[in-house]
Amino acid sequence: METGLSTRPILVTGATGGIGAATVKLLAIEGADVIAAGRNQKRLTELADETGCRTLSFDLTSEDEIKSALSGLDLYGVVNCGGWGGEIATPMDTDISVFDKVIDINARGTLLVMKYASETMIKSAKGGAIVNVSSQASLVGLAGHVSYASSKGAVDAMTRVSALELGKHNIRVNAVNPTVVMTPMSEWYWGRDDIGGPLIETMPLHKWATENDCAGPIVFLLSDAAAMITGVCLPIDGGFTAV
């Protein structure tokens, strides 16, 4: 498959995380001019040494930092992968300060990156593609995920609206909605038989996603092979939301 991504500048936020780093590596293999953004400077340097990517650092909760970092930055594509999981809590006992922070990073941060990235993409008049990393949690009810699910539901909504608004500039906007990626960070919760067991039993493929399982569809949606796909929220969930 010809992706058409060679030499195209693509920003990946949350690049020091699992899915973000896997996406940076796959884009580098495709020859893209990758700009890896994150807060962990040591990990960014390691990623640059490994892939040859450029690096950029800004706070997703700061509009001023995002505007300054992206102003005039030549971009063809954006992957909004930066995010925070928050807490496991019911609507009855959720900490509203945690809810506010999750919304601030996941929803508001995603919108701010799209806002300032799309400005330069429109000015360049070359078209482009944006992929927002959402979650299975926005598509189904998951116990304990009221804050996270709310933030990702907002990401799905802004994906559809942005696809409508940016289509006239030949800029496509899609989202991917991964199921659990079993990392050490998520294993403490989803690795429990009483929590993860029912989910993986319901899932037709009966296995957790890997970082590369998510990176592949992201790169596809950025590519010329997906030239007629926009406004889509694509589950990467082993069929969980289909049953």
Positions marked catalytic:
148, 152
Tokens 């360049």 found at: 124
The answer to whether the beta carbons of residues 177 and 160 sit under 8 Å apart is no
Tokens 């992929």 found at: 131
The CA distance from 39 to 16, in Å, is: 8
Query: Which residues on neighbouring strands pair with residue 77, listed in sequence order?
Result: 10, 129
The CA distance from 216 to 20, in Å, is: 11
Helix or strand run (H / E) with residue 132: strand 128-133
The answer to whether the beta carbons of residues 163 and 231 sit under 8 Å apart is yes
The answer to whether the beta carbons of residues 162 and 134 sit under 8 Å apart is no
The CA distance from 182 to 1, in Å, is: 29
Tokens for 94, please give them.
């959720």
Tell me which DSSP letter residue 104 carries. I
Query: Which residues on neighbouring strands pair with residue 12, listed in sequence order?
Result: 36, 79
Tokens for 196, please give them.
């993860």
The answer to whether the beta carbons of residues 134 and 176 sit under 8 Å apart is yes
